[in-house]
């Protein structure tokens, strides 16, 4: 029986790692989009000052 428990734990760890990686990738994408939006706003503000 221990072999099945070990396999089950290994499977759970693998699934958990994959979900965690997807979650971290999603957060990184959101941060990149937010950063890009902030840079766009800064550019817009700079253009407004020049006029």
> Which pLDDT does position 38 carry in this prediction?
84
Give residue 40's pLDDT. Answer: 83
Domain boundaries, the chain: 1-51
Query: How many angstroms separate the CA atoms of 43 and 25, rounded?
Result: 27
Q: Note the pLDDT tens digit of each residue in 4-36.
A: 788 999 999 999 999 999 999 999 999 999 998
Quote the CA–CA distance of 18 and 20 in Å, as a whole number.
Answer: 5
> Is the confidence at residue 3, as pLDDT, over 70?
no
| % of the chain at pLDDT higher than 70 | 78
DSSP code of residue 51: -
**How far apart, in whole angstroms, are the C-alpha atoms of residue 9 and residue 18?**
14
Q: Which residues contact 7 (CB under 8 A, 6 or more apart)?
A: none
């Amino acid at each position: 029986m221990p072999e099945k428990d070990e396999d089950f734990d290994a499977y759970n760890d693998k699934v958990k790692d994959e979900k965690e990686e997807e979650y971290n990738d999603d957060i990184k994408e959101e941060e990149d989009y937010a950063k890009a939006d902030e840079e766009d706003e800064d550019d817009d503000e700079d253009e407004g000052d020049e006029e």
